[in-house]
Structure 1
Amino acid sequence: MIVVERTFTVTATPGAVLGYLQDFANAQEWDPSARRTSRVGSGPIAPGAHWRHIRKMWGVTTELTYTLIAAEPDRLIFHGRSESATCTDLVVLHPVPGGTEVTYRMELELHGLAQLATPLLRGEFEKLATGGVTAVTAALDDLSRPAGLRRRLGAATPNRLPTPAEETGI
């Protein structure tokens, strides 16, 4: 199993941080490996909501389906799954003077032949986490700026990914 954890402080309030991170589609703005992330379904973002998360590492593109398992005022839990991996992301928030302390923990278990790559991927995920902290800190700090002074992060991407049937035309 690969476990990566980072703790960092941002200027945004815990409520703003929770609102931003609760929508996993925002991961495409700060996850260096993310290519496209989009909500599956509609309605309020609450436990049970799903996202398609397409990532690329070492030239290999994989798709995970993420589900919001828990959403509490100080904690979020996401569960990601694909044929080759299971991932749990835990976000814990603590109010601090001038902002929020965020602890982001990812636990990744590879399955089948992919499990053989665990030692190689551990270092890669450590590097991705370091880059991700820089990007997510910028995105979260931006939330504390007045709306007219916020900058647009990430690439323009569709809010909704096509379904597999739409992609294949079936």
Structure 2
Amino acid sequence: MVTVERSITIDRPGNEVIAYLADFGNTPEWDPGTESCDRIDRGPVAVGATWLNVSRFRGRRTQLMYTLERYDSDRLVFVGRNKTVTATDDMTLRPLNGRTVLLYRAELRFNGAARLAAPFLRTAFERLADEVEERLPQVLAAKTQEI
């Protein structure tokens, strides 16, 4: 298993941040590894909503089916699955003087033979988390009333 965590301060109020992050289809804007993330069901974004996420990691393309498993006013949990990995993105928001602190935790549980590679992938996942930490506040700062 590989776990990465970041604390990211965002110059937006929590209600705007949670609304933006709850739509996992926005992921290509802030996650440099994500090529596309398309909603595959209909209706409002709520627990049970699903997206097909296509990412590139270390030169390989992978697809995961993500489900929104928790949606609170201050916390989101998405779980993505394929035959190789189960990825959990756990996002908790805390207010800070009109800004928001996002506690972002990504956990990857590898299946089968892929478990053997997990220790060797940590550095690459840490770099990706660093890029998310840099990019997400910039993307949200550029957003206007569209959120």
What are the equivalent positions in structure 2 for 1:86-97 lying under 5 Å apart? 86-97=86-97
Q: Distance in 2 between matches of 1:90 and 1:146?
A: 25
Q: 1:140, CA displacement in angstroms?
A: 1.7
Q: 1:69, CA displacement in angstroms?
A: 0.5
Q: 1:146, CA displacement in angstroms?
A: 5.5
Q: Distance in 2 between matches of 1:32 and 1:116?
A: 25
Q: What SS does structure 2 have at the residue aligned with 1:78?
A: strand
2:31 aligned with 1:14, yes or no?
no
The TM-score, its normalising length taken from structure 1, stands at 0.82
Q: What SS does structure 1 have at the residue aligned with 2:90?
A: strand
User: What is the RMSD computed on CA atoms of the aligned residues?
Assistant: 1.1
Q: Distance in 1 between matches of 2:30 and 2:14?
A: 18
> How many pairs were matched up?
146
Matched letter for residue 70 of structure 1:
R
Q: 1:67, CA displacement in angstroms?
A: 0.2
What are the equivalent positions in structure 2 for 1:71-150 lying under 5 Å apart? 71-143=71-143, 145=144
Q: 1:116, CA displacement in angstroms?
A: 1.6
Deviations 1:20-70 (A, max 9, x none): 000001111111111111111111000000000011112211100000001
Sort the Cα spacing of 1:53 and 1:126 in 2 relative to 1 into closer, same or farther, 3 A.
Answer: same
Question: What 5-or-longer segments of structure 1 have no aligned partner?
Answer: 148-170
Q: Distance in 1 between matches of 2:27 and 2:104?
A: 13
Q: Distance in 2 between matches of 1:104 and 1:46?
A: 20
Matched letter for residue 28 of structure 1:
P
Question: What 5-or-longer segments of structure 2 have no aligned partner?
Answer: none
The runs of 4+ residues in structure 1 deviating greater than 3 Å are none
Q: What SS does structure 2 have at the residue aligned with 1:44?
A: coil
> Percentage identity across aligned positions?
39
Q: Distance in 1 between matches of 2:122 and 2:93?
A: 25
Q: Distance in 1 between matches of 2:47 and 2:145?
A: 30
Larger strand fraction of residues: 2
Q: 1:15, CA displacement in angstroms?
A: 0.5
Alignment partner, residue 162 of structure 1:
none
Alignment partner, residue 60 of structure 1:
60
Q: What SS does structure 2 have at the residue aligned with 1:32?
A: coil
Matched letter for residue 87 of structure 1:
A
Q: Distance in 2 between matches of 1:39 and 1:76?
A: 17
Deviations 1:102-157 (A, max 9, x none): 111011011112112111211100000000111111112223x456xxxxxxxxxx
Q: Distance in 1 between matches of 2:55 and 2:134?
A: 18
Sort the Cα spacing of 1:146 and 1:38 in 2 relative to 1 into closer, same or farther, 3 A.
Answer: closer
The TM-score, its normalising length taken from structure 2, stands at 0.95
Q: What SS does structure 1 have at the residue aligned with 2:140?
A: helix
